[in-house]
Amino acid sequence: MNENIYTEIPTEDNTQVASIVTSDQIYSEITTSQDNVQIPLPVMNDHIYSDLKTEYNTNASKHTDTAAGKENIRRNYVIALIVVLIIIICVLSSILIVQNLEQENGETACEGGWYQFGDTCYQFSNSSVTFDDAVKMCIGVSSGAILLEIRSLEEEIWIRFMMKLQGLTTTWMGITDSLDEGTFVFVSSDKKIQNVYAHWDRGQPEGGKSENCGLLLLGYEAWHDFPCSFKYEYICAKARLCRN
């Protein structure tokens, strides 16, 4: 508003009187008018307060639910871990209690260097030998001893547990199909293993005539056939004898 504005005000004698209204005057009038405008302020009535409170409570509830969910997952994980540990402790304690009761009842435990599971004693060897040598070593180590022949899932689970404790990773089992390709039998009895217990890994045995001996590897959940000339650890087993 840089220019003056002229208005003509008619008089009684039609004399034209020029009246000069400056831009500053107009601006002053406008701003004064604006200052006089009453702008209504928001009023915090009960309705608005109720809406805000509801929104706040909803957001707070979402935050609380997320935190509570994470806390529940963490708590359930800890509870599950504790339950598993308790189960393991109970199983091992039960084995020890049964063994102690058997000793108190006059039954013999396994001799030194041998570990008992059920009615069998086991000796774990870290030496690596061929399959045939493992068979011979076990026959020679003690009267009635043979190379490990697993006959149940429970026995295999215990053997794997003990292998970890004894530091073994790969051990021969006394099973072979060297006499009849594809038909694995126990070395000590020539009985077919599938009539008792067999736990081959997927696709096993798959070595054909070049792999005729059974191997238990902690790195695999089930058995593999391997060349009998390879050298691995071995486990001997013999029946636990009673005094009477």
Residues in contact with Ca ion by CB under 5 A are 177, 212
Residue 133 Cβ, how far from Ca ion at the closest point, in Å? 19
Residue 213 Cβ, how far from Ca ion at the closest point, in Å? 8
Comparing CB distances to Ca ion, the nearer of 180 and 221 is 180
Long-range pairs of 116-119 with CB within 8 A, sequence gap ≥ 24: 116/240, 117/155, 117/158, 117/159, 117/162, 118/155, 118/240, 119/239, 119/240
DSSP 70-128: HHHHHHHHHHHHHHHHHHHHHHHHHHHHHHHHHHHTT---PPTT-EEETTEEEEEEEEE
d(CA 7, CA 44): 48
Residue 207 Cβ, how far from Ca ion at the closest point, in Å? 5
Residue 205 Cβ, how far from Ca ion at the closest point, in Å? 6
Residue 118 and residue 127 in contact, taking contact as beta carbons nearer than 8 Å: no
- DSSP code of 193? G
Residue 208 Cβ, how far from Ca ion at the closest point, in Å? 6
Comparing CB distances to Ca ion, the nearer of 121 and 175 is 175
Comparing CB distances to Ca ion, the nearer of 147 and 163 is 147
Beta strands 120-129 and 146-147, pairing class:
unpaired
Comparing CB distances to Ca ion, the nearer of 168 and 228 is 228
